[in-house]
Amino acid sequence: AQSVTQLGSHVSVSEGALVLLRCNYSSSVPPYLFWYVQYPNQGLQLLLKYTTGATLVKGINGFEAEFKKSETSFHLTKPSAHMSDAAEYFCAVSGGAAGNKLTFGGGTRVLVKP
């Protein structure tokens, strides 16, 4: 079984400040990890993913995440927040069987203050 915990359902940052969204996972098999973003009235869009190899993963819109196996974490960061980053962010895990489902965390809503 797999599970994901996102610490903090809401995060408020100032424009230009660091964005840090926390994600911890539990998986009995080597995990594949994803961050999705959801803008208002839109579907989920992939920001980045970790499969194998380099543990620091870069995604779209200046986001990156680091896979830390020892900490079972996959935190998402962006050095400088932009107003357009206001959205809800979901961490997800999959792995194991082919065609496997995604298991999502509870989501973190990001508010960017001018």
For other proteins, which is the closer residue by CB, 79 or 96?
96
- Cα(first)–Cα(last) distance of the chain, in Å? 41
Residue whose structure tokens are 């508010």: 111
Q: Is residue 36 at the binding interface for other proteins, with CB under 8 A as the rule?
A: yes
Residue 51 in tokens = 């499969």
Q: Is residue 45 at the binding interface for other proteins, with CB under 8 A as the rule?
A: yes
Kindly indicate which of the ranges 11-19, 42-50, 56-64, 69-77 contains the residues binding other proteins, using the contact rule CB under 8 A. Answer: 42-50
CB of 110 to other proteins, least distance (A): 17
CB of 3 to other proteins, least distance (A): 10
Q: Report residue 113 CA to chain centroid gap.
A: 21
Q: Is residue 67 at the binding interface for other proteins, with CB under 8 A as the rule?
A: no
Residue 94 in tokens = 């999959």
Site map 75..114 versus other proteins, x via CB under 8 A:
---------------x-x-xxxxxxxxxxxxxx-------
**For residue 20, what are the CA distances in angstroms to 2, 76, 79?**
23, 6, 9
The b-or-e profile of 63-82 (16+ CB within 10 A means b, else e) is: bbbebeeeeebbbbebeebe
Residues near other proteins (CB under 8 A) are: 32, 34, 36, 41-46, 49, 51-52, 90, 92, 94-107
